[in-house]
């Protein structure tokens, strides 16, 4: 039986760099992108594909956790496969379908396909065909299949009444689903940074508007490979630091250069993430498709404000262009224990000071 895994422009040795791993160093990500021949044009296409996934998930009424997980799968696939050889729309459908299963979001694949057929904005048209297919010179383009055969024209996909075409597309998406599962070693365990954003905000009694700003900032991480480079608790801390710079009057983190040490985040690692996230935000806001993802909580953020934060960090010597971060699972384990202890103490002790509880247990962690 022929394997359903795809190795058009990647070898099995390349995929083993990614398979079964959750977090990667920046060097590993850059090496994987080099092997898959990702150029700036493809990176812009990946950003557009991420925005397309967000729009498609919202139109289907999916929770943000499902959408974010699908974006993680999309970024993982980009480390192994050259997207020039595939119809990116089909890959997006497969990522969203697998994310629905992982997050227990009930939705039929046919319904997802039907919604995608109704999403025909002109900015997304480049995602609907294979850029290297010579048939793209004509009015119809071909959808790819793992074995390179049984191609289907894209204009037929827009007519869901054609049962044969729809069945072939469903079979193709199921093959992509198997690719994603094998790439993750059939492991659905995944922590979302938004959980830590809410928990940290409650611990410090932050205003709801401030928590929402940090919550929205953390979602931008999924538009790039940052979600594969940093663990969730560090993303939450970094989002709060940026939110503190943007809304200092609402921030309860008056001494944020020291409080993040409580959450087992190294200073260089944290500011390496912050630097990359600010650069990503500037890139997204400059993009002509940025209007597709503007949220009410971040609509007031301007490129000028982000550049001012960048200049301030540069003057303080905290701006890090490159940060070689190696993820340590012990830190994530420690922060989970710390949160459980804090939750139990808060229930049993009504008048205990939050600061004493936090720093009292830091030294007792394993």
Q: Nearest-CA neighbor of 91 among 135, 38, 46?
A: 46
CATH number of 12-183: 1.10.472.10
Q: Provide the Cα torsion 273, 62, 73, 90; round to 10°.
A: -130
CA dist 274 and 306 (Å) reads: 11
CATH number of 193-362: 1.10.472
Tens digit of pLDDT for each residue in 271-320? 889 998 998 888 888 776 555 554 545 667 888 888 898 888 888 887 87
pLDDT value of position 67: 93
If one compares 4 and 47, the residue with the highest pLDDT of the two is 47
Tens digit of pLDDT for each residue in 18-52? 554 667 777 777 777 777 777 767 777 888 888 88
Which segments of the chain belong to CATH 1.10.472.10? 12-183
CA dist 291 and 270 (Å) reads: 28
Contacts of 68 (CB under 8 A, 6+ apart): 192, 194, 219, 222, 227
If one compares 262 and 178, the residue with the highest pLDDT of the two is 178
pLDDT (mean) for 212-216: 90
């Amino acid at each position: 039986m022929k394997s359903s895994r795809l190795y058009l422009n990647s070898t099995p040795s390349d995929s083993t760099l990614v398979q079964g791993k959750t977090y990667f160093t920046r060097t590993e990500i850059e090496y994987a992108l080099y092997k898959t021949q990702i150029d700036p044009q493809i990176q812009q296409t990946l950003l557009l594909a991420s925005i397309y996934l967000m729009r498609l998930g919202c139109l289907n009424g999916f929770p943000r956790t499902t959408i974010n997980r699908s974006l993680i799968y999309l970024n993982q696939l980009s480390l192994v496969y050259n997207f020039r050889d595939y119809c990116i729309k089909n890959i997006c459908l497969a990522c969203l379908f697998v994310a629905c299963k992982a997050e227990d979001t009930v939705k039929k694949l046919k319904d997802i396909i039907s919604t995608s057929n109704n999403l025909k904005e002109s900015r997304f048209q480049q995602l609907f065909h294979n850029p290297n297919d010579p048939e793209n010179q004509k009015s119809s383009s071909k959808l790819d299949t793992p074995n390179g055969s049984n191609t289907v024209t894209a204009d037929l996909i827009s007519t869901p009444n054609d049962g044969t075409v729809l069945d072939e597309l469903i079979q193709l998406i199921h093959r992509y689903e198997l690719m994603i599962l094998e790439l993750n070693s059939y492991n659905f365990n995944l922590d979302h940074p938004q959980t830590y954003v809410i928990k940290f905000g409650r611990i410090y009694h932050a205003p709801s508007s401030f928590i929402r700003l940090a919550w929205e900032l953390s979602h931008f991480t999924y538009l790039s490979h940052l979600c594969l480079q940093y663990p969730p608790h560090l993303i939450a801390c970094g989002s709060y630091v940026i939110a503190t710079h943007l809304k200092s009057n609402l921030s309860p983190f008056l001494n944020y250069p020291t409080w993040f040490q409580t959450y087992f985040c190294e200073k260089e690692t944290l500011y390496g993430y912050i630097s990359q996230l600010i650069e990503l935000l500037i890139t997204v806001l400059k993009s002509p498709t940025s209007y597709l993802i503007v949220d009410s909580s971040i609509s007031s953020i301007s490129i000028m404000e982000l550049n001012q934060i960048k200049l301030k960090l540069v003057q303080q010597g905290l701006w890090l262009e490159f940060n070689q971060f190696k993820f340590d699972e012990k830190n994530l384990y420690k922060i989970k224990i710390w949160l459980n202890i804090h939750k139990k103490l808060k229930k049993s002790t009504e008048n205990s000071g939050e600061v004493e509880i936090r720093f009292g247990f830091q030294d007792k962690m394993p």
